[in-house]
Structure 1
């Protein structure tokens, strides 16, 4: 029998796991811009306004494979590490929080739910982002990097690892994501995924996926689930 998921009245909501870029920190455009610059340097034609569309949610090893496949050139074994350093330096220069993120995090905290982060970014990069946006205190010792693990999304490993560290069953977790790559990882981990996607942008027709348009919708969603579960 399939276990009821975390937002179901029959389920148990025990852990909230956040992606980082595009959910907590507005760094995706910067990282995608740098990736596009690197792709153009390798010989690809990617206009700046297509950078996010091209690279959103992708880990650096996947971006490297994509560029190498399209150009037929090797970028070298140090390419991902070199670009990662560009990301970290860019984050230190300044990055913005996603609109409403501090109110949302305080709301989740008031519900008494533990939180963790699972991202394709490196731990070093996330540390820089959270310092710049005053979020470090929310996630002390609760940050998990798929890049550092060497198993990036869309593989579900980083989310399964986060749940295991909390001692919680994947079915009892809610993941907040913004990319299809990350949503795929959450769904394949057997978790409920809330996809933050503004405007009229389409969402995948996958099971266990709920859409919100703004972070202000997230806490009421969790609150309703907890109420329906008798908590």
Structure 2
């Protein structure tokens, strides 16, 4: 089975979300740039980001800040979400290989619903195969969301491949005992993990899976 992260892998919404969080951080007095926020906040939990902003700014944020931000992100994604380049073709190619697919993300189900409807990926991704680390209270880098997805499919973790773009996601896959492919530009650093495979564009992913499947047949 293949398990996909959402932001940065299927939907190009991470930069918009982290820019919104950066705007909030600056409002409370933390002079952080959008680029810095993207690097620091990507893949993180909203509750932890709230605590980070409070610590760096010296200001108390409302307890409901993460829920308020979640609502703002959902509203933004209903109209502004875009797919990562090649995502739709890649998903079709993976399903054509006969592999089951699921999504495991730190985003809420409401947020992912907004993103997938806005981009049209809901025509490919079935609702009951989308899992939220936020809603299940098992966010990455904990491995639980990936183990939950594997359990729902009835497939052992060692027979799963995760496609990720963030370091917390890579760590979650590693701790789940799953193979992981990292989608990241070649000139950007990546987590040190023996056996981690990197691709720089989604068009590389389905051919990689096909090669792995052929190698397993020949073994």
Q: What TM-score does the superposition give when structure 2 sets the normalisation length?
A: 0.95
Q: Which has the higher helix share?
A: 2
Q: Deviations over 1:162-216 (max 9, x none)?
A: 0000011111000000011111111111100100001310111113411001101
SS at match of 1:230: helix
Counterpart residue number, 2:53: 67
Alignment gaps of 5+ in structure 2: none
Is this contact kept in 2: 1:187–1:208, CA < 8 A?
no
Aligned residue among 173, 187, 192 for 1:186: 173
CA contact (8 A) 1:173 1:191 kept: yes
Q: Distance in 2 between matches of 1:88 and 1:78?
A: 16
Question: Aligned equivalents of 1:86 and 1:169: distance in 2?
Answer: 37
Comparing both chains, which one has the higher relative contact order based on Cα–Cα distances under 8 Å and sequence gaps of 6 or more? 1
Q: State the match for 2:71 in structure 1.
A: 85
Give the aligned partner of residue 130 of structure 2: 143
Q: Does 1:48 align with 2:34?
A: yes
Per the normalisation by structure 1, the TM-score is 0.91
Match of 2:212 in 1: 225
- Local SS of the residue matching 1:25: coil
Q: In the alignment, does 2:44 pair up with 1:58?
A: yes
Secondary structure of the structure 2 residue equivalent to 1:229: helix
C-alpha displacement of 1:43: 1.5
Aligned length: 217
- Pairwise CA distance, 1:128: 0.4
Is the partner of 1:206 in helix, strand or coil? coil
